[in-house]
A and B are shown apart, each in its own frame.
Chain A
Amino acid sequence: MADAPGQSIVLPDGRCDIIIRRNRNAPDVLMPVITGPATRAYTVTYDVGDTWFGLRLRPESAVALWRGDLEHAVDTVLRGQDAIDLVPALATHQYCDLMLDRLAGLALAAPFIDTRLTHALDILHASGGRIRVAQLARFAACSPRHLNRLFRGHTGLGTKTYAQLVQFHRTLNLITRGRVPITDAALEGGYADHAHMTRAFRRFGGFVPSKLPPRLTLPQLFAQ
C-alpha cells in the first residue's frame, strides 16, 4: 500500500501482468489492469492508500492470456472495461476474496506449453541473455527459426528481444546490487562497449547507466 503519493518506474521484463488496483478510501471501486509483454519502461502514478495485487505470468504463458491477440499485445496496457473485454471473468468476481491461483484459472486459457521453450527460457536466463541464438536452439533441439516461432507464439516477443531484456536486467543488477563500475558492467553484461550498453538502457529503461532514476521497480525475473 502506498503511504504517500508518488511515481514509480516499472521496468519491462517481457512478461504480462494481471493487476487489480483499488484505493482503501473506495474499496468497492476496482480497476483491473492487464499488461502485454513489456519492452518499454512505464511510469505508475499512485495516491495515498492505493493498493494493488496481481499476477506476473511466466513469459511463455502470455499466449494463454492474450490468445489470438498476442501479436498486437506487446507494450499494450488494458485498463477497466478493456481488461474485462479480454478476460470477462474479471467483471463478475469479488477480487478481494479471490485467491491468486483462482485468478490465474479464470484468466488463462488452458496452457499448451512447449517444454523446449521452457528449457530455452531457463538457459537464456542462466546465460544472462548472452548465449547465441544458434547455441540456444541447439539446447532446445530445434532450429533457430523454429525457436523464434516458439518465442513469438508464446511470449509475444522474438528470441533476440527477450534475450536483450534479460541482458539489460542482469547488467542493471550488476550496477545496482553488485556495485560493479559501469565500464566493467558493460563488459561482463556482454555489451560490445559502453555506447552499446547505453543504447540498451535507453531503449528498455529510458535512462542512461550513469544516471539511474531513484525509484526503480526491479522485477525479480522468474520469481513466482
Chain B
Amino acid sequence: MKLGYTIIYVADVPETVAFYEAAFGLSQRFIHDSNLYAEMETGETILAFAGNEAAEMNGLAILPNDPTGPAAGWEVCFVTGDVSAAYTRAVSHGCSPVSAPSQKPWGQTVSYVRDLNGCIVEIASPIAQAS
C-alpha cells in the first residue's frame, strides 16, 4: 500500500484550484464536470479537492474547514529550495501568514500559512539526507 491521494473537502472546488495555482504555483491536473472533485499536479502523491457535498454522498460526516476558527489538526507541506520566495508568493496571493520562514536547529527552513479555506499549509526546504 502507498499514499496515493490527499483529498481536502472544501466549500468551492474551482475556487480552491485557482487559489492553489496562484498561491503555490501548482497546476490543475483534472476537474470533474460536477465541479465537486479536482486533482492537482503534485507528482506521485496527488493533492485533490472535493466539495463538502461529496462528503455526504460518500457517507462521511465532516467538520468543514473554517478560516475564521482554529485549523483542523493536520497540514499539507510543500517542499522547495526557495522557501522565502514561495512564502512571499503565497501571502501575496491571499494566504494568511502564520509563521514566516525560520531556520530550524536541524537545518531546515520552515514557514506556515493558511489557505483560503483555513487549512494549514507548510512551506519548507528539503531536509538534507543524512550521510
Bound state CA distance, A5 and B66, in angstroms? 50
B69 within 8 A of A: yes
- On whether the beta carbons of B66 and A126 are closer than 8 Å, the reply is no
| Inter-subunit contact B60/A123 (CB<8 Å) | no
- Interface class of chain B by DSSP: loop
* Interchain CB contact under 8 A, B56 and A125: yes
| A to B contact number (C-beta, < 8 Å) | 46
Residue pair B59, A126 in contact (C-beta under 8 Å): no
Provide the bound-state CA to CA distance between A128 and B64, in Å.
Answer: 11
* Chain B positions near chain A (C-beta within 8 angstroms): 9, 52-53, 55-56, 59-64, 66, 68-69
Instruction: Tell whether A126 pairs with B9 under 8 Å between CB atoms, given A131-B63, A139-B64, A177-B59.
Output: yes
Query: A129's closest neighbor in chain B, by CB?
Result: B61
Contact yes or no, B53 A173, CB < 8 A: no
Total number of A residues with any Cβ neighbor in B under 8 Å: 22
Q: Are A123 and B64 in contact (CB under 8 A)?
A: yes
Chain B residue at smallest Cβ distance from A128? B61
Pick the contact of A128: B53, B56, B68 (CB < 8 A).
B56
A178 in contact (CB, < 8 A): yes
B55: A residues at CB distance < 8 A? 126
A222 at the interface (CB under 8 A from B): yes
